[in-house]
Amino acid sequence: MFAVTTSPPVGQHASVLAALGGRIASGALATGQVVTLDGICAEHRVSRSVAREAIRVLESMGLVASRRRVGITIQPRERWNVFDPRVIRWRLDLGDRTDQLLSLSELRRGIEPVAAALAAERADGEQCRVLAAAVSDMVVHGRSGDLEAYLRADTLFHRTLLEASGNEMLRALQDVVAEVLSGRTHHGMMPARPNPDAIALHDEVARAVRLGDGPGAERAMRAIIDEAAAALRAEQGH
């Protein structure tokens, strides 16, 4: 028989998970280091059930491995689920931010131009409308310098494009791309006024998708990603 227990507070669980995940991503908890449930409970003043749940999630991400009579061991980066949006966020917040963004830009270059080409074949009328509306919002918020509103429109554009590809594997990367866009904005890696040329390229993608121009959509999307990567390198002096 299992005892009936109440679920641990979401706030506590999320707080411990973020604290441990961030420390692993930053290297404060190094590969091979061993931590214990008791130590986590004492440090964060939480119950064993809260600590255990946080470790379970970290284990599912490949950040730790838990073994009897050994403890909870921090795993090397090669074992991390680097596609998990939370891992991406922690690395951008506390870890190797520039290298992570450049790596993600390379990933995007391999997937989003393909998604754009597929969207030109498969997007429905509503998806085309959302893409066009998102670009219009990017123009407005880019001019005003409202970067949070711009981010929302930009994220909607890229989520919709991946959805419109009609490919479930590409669609599954929506949160990955969203974290890239969010990370660049929230860590001061966006200009105070977004590049009008980049916005114009988004408009080119939306138009090409609406017209069924796969090569045009693919070409413009690749240019968007190349522009963002070049801006990042310039910002960081690479």
Residue pLDDT, tens place only, 118-171? 999 999 999 999 999 999 999 999 999 999 999 999 999 999 999 999 999 999
- Domains of the chain are 10-79 (1.10.10.10), 96-236 (1.20.120.530)
d(C-alpha 44, C-alpha 5), whole Å? 21
pLDDT at 1: 39
Closest CA to 200 of 164, 224, 218, 230: 224
Query: Among 187, 97, 192, 205, which Cα is nearest to 150's?
Result: 192
pTM across the whole model: 0.84
How confident is residue 10, by pLDDT bands cut at 50, 70 and 90? low
Q: What is the pLDDT of residues 72-96, one digit of tens each?
A: 999 999 999 999 999 999 998 886 7
Confidence of residue 175 (pLDDT cuts 50, 70, 90): very high
